[in-house]
Structure 1
Amino acid sequence: MTKRAVILLGMAAGLIWACAVVYYGLQWTQIGRTDTSPLAASATGLLFPGLVLVALIARLAQRRFFDDAMIDGQTLQGGALIDQRVLSNTIEQTVLAICIWPCATLLSGAVGLPIILGLSFLLARLLFWIGYHLSAPLRSLGFAATFYPTILTALYVLWQFVP
């Protein structure tokens, strides 16, 4: 299978994943038996991207600490370079999530949406990270499964403003 075919397959699977995540997230309007505010739900959902960032930052710090060629801030190499790329992309994805998820939660009243988006983000970022270390084209599923739910959520928000 060619690289492009692997990437396309990952993107298609990520789109299917995204549709399921957003659909089920929008159905989830109550957490347990309590009323949860959309603000509290949004904050809870954004915890998961934060946890991914913690893991990536800790892994890079560990790699630098135990590698004499990088301990003094020298150029990253090998697996650390991949981890840095994953961290950079995860920061970009997190900024998108911060900009979009709370709006969707406030407009929909679906307090489960940011939580399922956050859990999905965590799982997808792990797939991205592992896939990138195995083979660059394999990162496509993790990328798409992170990016597409946020984009679909943004489209949902924009749709709310259409009369």
Structure 2
Amino acid sequence: MTSERRGVAQGMAAGLLVAIVALAVGLNSDAAGGPTETLGAAVAILGSWIAATVGNVARLRFFDDSGIGAAATGADPLAIRIARAVAQNTLEQAVIAGFAYAALTYVAGSAGTIALLVGCFSLGRVLFWTGYARGAAARAFGFALTFYPSVLALLVVLVRLASARFV
């Protein structure tokens, strides 16, 4: 196993561990807040991350003479290609998270859980974004901290729905 692959595996494992702890703590919390307010705040934060990454691509294009018209030609400079990759991944992660948060709000209704998941998402995006240019190992923990909480939330929803149906 290459050191890069080992670094990715370590980052992903650490992110999964944090996701499990955050979800367990959240599901056992009694944080105040109704489902509408909680979900509304979560969606606003997800949307803000998408806007920030798309805005970063636009900023880089505007201030780069070779990048300002490169979208049509596909000849983006490296910094813009990296920014586009971060924006694309953020959009993908936000879609998964949005579905997960909405579904979890439906079955659990815990403001504390959603707050912790949004916190993981935001910290994960910061780490992913700042680590992206340094390679896969440098961004793995950030990716995992964004991805695994959403996936685990979806699993919790599916288990709760299945157990409610068959009990």
When residues 147 and 85 of structure 1 are mapped into structure 2, their CA distance, relative to the original with a 3 A threshold, is: same
Q: TM-score, normalised by structure 1?
A: 0.90
Paired with 2:76 and 2:13, the residues of 1 have a C-alpha distance of 32
Q: Aligned partner of 2:37: which letter?
A: A
2:40 corresponds to 1:39: no
Q: Within 2, Cα distance between the matches of 1:72 and 1:94?
A: 28
Structure 1 unmatched runs, 5+:
none
User: Where do 1:16-95 residues align within 5 Å?
Assistant: 16-31=17-32, 36-74=33-71, 75-95=75-95
What's the secondary structure of 1:90's corresponding residue? helix
Cα drift, residue 129 of structure 1: 0.9
Percent identity (aligned): 33
Which residue in 2 is equivalent to 1:15?
16
Gaps of 5+ in 2: none
Instruction: Give the distance between the partners of 1:154 and 1:116, measured in 2 at CA.
Output: 15
Q: Any residues of structure 2 matched to 1:77-156 within 5 Å, and which?
A: 77-156=77-156
The answer to whether the Cα contact below 8 Å between 2:103 and 2:157 also exists between their aligned partners in 1 is yes
The 10-residue stretch of structure 1 (104-113 or 86-95) with the greater mean CA deviation from structure 2: 104-113
Residue type of the partner of 1:13? Answer: A
Separation in 1, partners of 2:158, 2:135: 36
CA distance in 1, matches of 2:38, 2:78: 38
The alpha-carbon deviation at position 82 of structure 1 amounts to: 0.8
Cα shift at 1:90:
0.8
Counterparts of 1:4 and 1:57 in 2: how far apart (Å)? 29
Structure 1 counterpart of 2:23, one-letter code: V
The separation in 2 between residues aligned to 1:22 and 1:77, in whole angstroms, is 39
Root-mean-square deviation (CA, aligned residues, Å) is 1.5
Contact 2:67 2:80 in 1 (8 A): no
